């Protein structure tokens, strides 16, 4: 019988493999939906090539992109889940094993020596954001972050009295400056909070949401308005022109300081990869059907 540490390590290894070889179902539906509406013939061809590439990668079990991303996790630990430190060690072991097996490209470089650690592990690598909650389970989200899209992230300290007006300009400016670099069509993530750390963490959480039509709330309507504006810029798939520059824009908000309105703007390429698993204290494993599926 496997120990809980071994169960976690194998489950995370599986989650890593699934995330780098297929996109979640909602992401696939978003790309198909925009492909049907695209009016530019070249953009339509690029979107159908992406759809075909997703199908081939899932069928062959090959990575969606040569950049399998920087390994990033959001881990929610129930207060009654045993072996909390062991769980974090198991995640690191799974990342090293996935790299050894060629599932993950070695993407972790020491910033001083410029030496690749070769294992995707090292100081603060993989990056693991931890949250605690009341419960028995361990919930793990694996979100590999491609360098092309992460490299165009922006942080704005906006004037608090005109925060929302300035946000619109900041979003459009970020998308224009990013151009083709994040491999559009992209998902644009906006986090708003009191501090830079808070805004960045909130923007990251946007990756956990699923693509769907927007509800009639003021924030969702703002998301839709900004998305529509982005899609009039003409950047298009891979920056080669067209209506489809972004597939979604999501905003997560937290209370701000009276003197600050800090906005983090992050991008994901069309390959918004994610896998989500929940492990019970008895070693049972739940796999999110939106992520573990075959296109």
**Least Å from the CB of residue 162 to ligand SF4:** 32
Which residue is at the shortest CB distance from ligand SF4? 146
Verify binding: residue 103, ligand SF4, rule CB under 6 A: no
Stretch that binds ligand SF4, among 40-48, 63-71, 84-92, 210-218 (CB under 6 A): 63-71
Q: Looking at 71, 182, 193, 237, which residue binds ligand SF4 (CB under 6 A)?
A: 182
Verify binding: residue 27, ligand SF4, rule CB under 6 A: no
Strand order across the beta sheet in which 246-253 lies: 154-157, 262-268, 186-193, 246-253
* Inter-residue contact 137 to 160 (CB < 8 Å): no
- How many C-beta atoms surround the C-beta of residue 244 within 10 A? 27
Residue 214 CA from chain centroid, whole number: 19
Verify binding: residue 146, ligand SF4, rule CB under 6 A: yes
Verify binding: residue 71, ligand SF4, rule CB under 6 A: no
Stretch that binds ligand SF4, among 96-104, 130-138, 141-149, 277-285 (CB under 6 A): 141-149
CA dihedral 77, 204, 273, 138 (to 10 degrees): 0
* Inter-residue contact 294 to 183 (CB < 8 Å): no
SS3 content of the chain, % helix, strand, coil (to 5): 40, 20, 40
Q: Looking at 9, 17, 38, 67, which residue binds ligand SF4 (CB under 6 A)?
A: 67
Verify binding: residue 31, ligand SF4, rule CB under 6 A: no
Verify binding: residue 183, ligand SF4, rule CB under 6 A: yes
- Residue 270: Cβ-neighbour burial (10 angstroms; 0-12, 13-18, 19+): buried
**Least Å from the CB of residue 267 to ligand SF4:** 8
**Least Å from the CB of residue 27 to ligand SF4:** 12
For residue 259, which of 165, 138, 161 has the smallest C-alpha distance? 161
Interface size with ligand SF4, residues (CB under 6 A): 11
Q: What Rg do the C-alpha atoms of the chain give, in angstroms?
A: 19
- Please give the Cα distance from 102 to 216 (Å, whole number): 45
Residues 243-282 that bind ligand SF4 (CB under 6 A): 269, 271
**Contacting positions for ligand SF4 (CB under 6 A):** 65, 67, 69, 146-149, 182-183, 269, 271
């Amino acid at each position: 019988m496997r120990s809980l540490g071994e169960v976690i390590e194998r489950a995370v290894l599986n989650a890593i493999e699934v995330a780098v070889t297929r996109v979640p179902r909602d992401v696939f539906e978003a790309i198909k939906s925009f492909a049907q509406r695209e009016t530019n013939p070249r953009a339509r061809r690029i979107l159908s090539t992406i759809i075909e590439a997703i199908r081939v990668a899932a069928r062959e079990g090959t990575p969606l992109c040569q950049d399998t991303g920087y390994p990033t996790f959001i881990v929610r630990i129930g207060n009654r889940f045993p072996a909390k430190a062991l769980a974090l060690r198991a995640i690191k072991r799974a990342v090293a094993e996935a790299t050894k097996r060629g599932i993950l490209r070695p993407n972790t470089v020491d910033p001083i020596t410029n030496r690749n650690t070769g294992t995707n592990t090292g100081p603060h690598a993989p990056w693991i954001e931890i949250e605690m909650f009341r419960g028995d389970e361990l919930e793990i989200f694996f979100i590999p972050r491609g360098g092309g899209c992460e490299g165009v992230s922006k942080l704005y300290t906006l004037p608090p009295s005109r925060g929302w007006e300035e946000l619109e300009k900041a979003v459009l400016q970020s998308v224009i400056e990013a151009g083709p670099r994040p491999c559009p069509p992209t998902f644009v993530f906006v986090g708003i909070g009191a501090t830079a750390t808070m805004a960045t963490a909130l923007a990251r959480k946007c990756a956990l949401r699923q693509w769907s039509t927007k509800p009639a709330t003021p924030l969702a309507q703002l998301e839709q308005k900004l998305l529509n504006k982005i899609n009039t810029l003409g950047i298009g798939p891979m920056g080669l022109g067209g209506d489809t520059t972004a597939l979604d824009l999501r905003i997560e908000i937290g209370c701000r300081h009276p003197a600050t309105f800090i906005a983090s703007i992050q991008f994901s390429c069309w390959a918004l990869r994610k896998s989500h698993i929940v492990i019970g204290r008895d070693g049972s494993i739940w796999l999110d059907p939106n992520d573990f599926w075959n296109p």
